[in-house]
A and B are shown apart, each in its own frame.
Chain A
Amino acid sequence: SAVISQKPSRDICQRGTSLTIQCQVDSQVTMMFWYRQQPGQSLTLIATANQGSEATYESGFVIDKFPISRPNLTFSTLTVSNMSPEDSSIYLCSVMLLDSDTYNEQFFGPGTRLTVL
């Protein structure tokens, strides 16, 4: 498995500001993902973070709103830009290990709980 940490664990932000969330993994991983989980809801994939190239965004999510960086195989950031109260959610980093032992299992970080006032 992989140990994933996220910073910050929670934050309260003002409307119109931006927040950058960090995700650190204890081993090199091939695939990293960013999810959003709105209160009482299931998880929604925002984008796949690609190392050395632009992230791949899902329908409904755009780079200007959620810029993502992935400078190496163990670290990624997600920025929530120009925040509004509708952005209040838990943001989760996830990684997938591509090897025969784990058969592409996906592991999650503890999440960042964001509240926008």
Chain B
Amino acid sequence: GQQLNQSPQSMFIQEGEDVSMNCTSSSIFNTWLWYKQDPGEGPVLLIALYKAGELTSNGRLTAQFGITRKDSFLNISASIPSDVGIYFCAGQDSNYQLIWGAGTKLIIKP
């Protein structure tokens, strides 16, 4: 099925570094969502974006909905060990179904 283009696939960073990941699509979405999944858990919603150009923050997380409605990025500032996990972007279509990115695995180097 359709999938968003999410990059990078994985990131190895030092604690305290900033992180950036993004998603692009050939289709327009009305809503973009960013989730984090820890091992053995379901995805947890981090940020939801509803308007083109919207910039939203949630603590150290910042996400933006692209002006064309075809892309979004997620930034994490000053990473900490609990940020480790897999981050997924998802676009919601007009039928409320989610189209998912492949995920970005975040690993923090000791």
> Would you call A42 and B103 a contact (CB within 8 A)?
yes
> Would you call A103 and B50 a contact (CB within 8 A)?
yes
> Would you call B31 and A43 a contact (CB within 8 A)?
no
Determine the residue in chain B with the shortest Cβ distance to A103. B50
Q: Would you call B92 an interface residue if the criterion is a C-beta within 8 Å of the partner chain's C-beta atoms? A: yes
* Main SS at interface, chain A: strand
Chain B, 12-43, contact with A by CB distance < 8 Å: what is the 0/1 string?
A: 00000000000000000001010100001111
Query: Once A and B bind, how many residue pairs between them come within 8 Å at the CB atom?
Result: 54
> Would you call B100 and A43 a contact (CB within 8 A)?
yes
Distance between A64 CB and nearest chain B CB, rounded to angstroms: 20
Determine the residue in chain A with the shortest Cβ distance to B6. A42
Chain A residues within 8 Å of B, Cβ to Cβ: 4, 31, 41-45, 48, 58-60, 92, 94, 96, 103-111, 113
Chain B residues within 8 Å of A, Cβ to Cβ: 1, 3, 31, 33, 35, 40-45, 48, 50, 88, 90, 92, 96-98, 100-103
Known: A42-B88, A111-B41. 7 other contacts (CB 8 A): A31-B96, A41-B102, A43-B43, A44-B1, A59-B1, A107-B45, A108-B42
